Chains A and B, each alone.
Chain A
Amino acid sequence: MGSSWKAMADDNRRQMLLLMKDGEKTPTEMAKSFEFTLPAVSTHLRVLKDAGLVSERKVGQNRFYSVNKEKMSEMVEFFDIFWDDNLTRLKEHVENKKARGRDDRR
């Protein structure tokens, strides 16, 4: 199973998750919402599916995707993502500060 953090680290995939949050979507519907090509949507969906964040339902030729609520509702998952994000921002903050050097000291 792929990392859910990695799956959610991409802005487009987060937007797709937000879209699916409101209900099942087909890849075509998602492609329309984002002006993506179908292959691009499929690639993102595969990453999300591998991470267990979305579920797939097949009806005939159609595939419907929805958010895997169970996975998403794990509390530890929340903090896992929360702290990953915090550490990334901390790193950016201190490294930017260093790069600016003395100019920043007022």
Chain B
Amino acid sequence: MTEGEIRKAVVVDAPPEVVFKALTDEKELVRWMTQEARMDPRLGGECEFKYHWAKEDLRSVATGKILELIPNKRLSYTYVLTRSGSGTSGANSLFPDVTNSVVTWILDALPDGKTRVTMVHSGITKEAYGAFDGAWGYWTGQLARLGRVTAGRSK
């Protein structure tokens, strides 16, 4: 692994068109990626993902510009993560700031209508981290969200 680079892959039982739509359609992005999403799916278009973490007053916003867009094959955007909300000040913040990084999604069509989805997050440098106290905020948020999802389903 290159330092400051994360590479992940997963095989999805759906064709690339379906995955690409999930990556670029605002209505779909909020179903799996984040709570609020804006996406202008064209070269140079802007995107924004708002993450609501554990507490109401703690949020992160990722903003970016689309660097590459090849329908059903490849999507790449800059990814600048900034904390927002009143609970984010102080050196003990649980959430990372990233001043400059790039997220790339690569879709490879596989036999039987499946797709290999590869995600590369590059440019995560130590300098860009700032004060950061671990993945706790993230997991706390996930737990809170899981609770909400479960509650929603039981209706």
- A29 an interface residue at 8 Å Cβ cutoff? no
Structural contact, B135 and A93, CB atoms closer than 8 A: no
Binding site for A on B (CB under 8 A): 4, 6, 8-10, 12-14, 18-19, 22-23, 28, 31-33, 96, 117, 119, 121, 124, 126, 129, 132-136, 138-140, 142-143, 146
Structural contact, A75 and B124, CB atoms closer than 8 A: yes
Q: Which 7 A-B pairs have the closest CB atoms?
A: A72-B134, A93-B32, A89-B32, A94-B14, A73-B134, A87-B10, A75-B129
With A75-B126, A76-B6: A91-B12 Cβ-Cβ less than 8 Å? yes
Nearest Cβ on chain A to B38's Cβ, whole angstroms: 17
Point out the residue from A75, A83, A87, A93 that lies within 8 Å of B132, measured CB to CB: A75
Point out the residue from B6, B22, B136, B140 that lies within 8 Å of A83, measured CB to CB: B6
B134 contacts which chain A residues (CB < 8 A)?
A: 69, 72-74, 77-78
Q: Which residue of A has the minimal Cβ distance to B18?
A: A94
Q: Which residue of B has the minimal Cβ distance to A84?
A: B8
With A78-B135, A86-B119: A91-B10 Cβ-Cβ less than 8 Å? yes
Q: Which of A14-22, A38-46, A58-66 contacts B (4 or more CB under 8 A)?
A: A14-22
B18 contacts which chain A residues (CB < 8 A)?
A: 94, 97-98
Nearest Cβ on chain B to A82's Cβ, whole angstroms: 6
Binding site for B on A (CB under 8 A): 8, 11, 14-15, 17-18, 21, 69, 72-95, 97-98
Q: Which residue of B has the minimal Cβ distance to A86?
A: B33
CA distance A86 to B118 in the complex (A): 12
Q: Which residue of B has the minimal Cβ distance to A71?
A: B134
CA distance A73 to B76 in the complex (A): 27
Structural contact, B139 and A17, CB atoms closer than 8 A: yes
12 contacts between A and B (CB under 8 A): A11-B146, A14-B139, A76-B4, A81-B138, A83-B121, A87-B9, A87-B10, A90-B19, A93-B32, A94-B18, A94-B22, A98-B18
Structural contact, B133 and A83, CB atoms closer than 8 A: no
A94 contacts which chain B residues (CB < 8 A)?
A: 12-14, 18-19, 22
Structural contact, B12 and A73, CB atoms closer than 8 A: no
CA distance A82 to B137 in the complex (A): 11
Structural contact, A8 and B119, CB atoms closer than 8 A: no
Known: A78-B132, A95-B12. 15 other contacts (CB 8 A): A69-B133, A73-B134, A76-B124, A78-B135, A79-B6, A81-B138, A87-B10, A87-B117, A90-B23, A91-B117, A93-B28, A93-B31, A94-B13, A97-B14, A98-B18
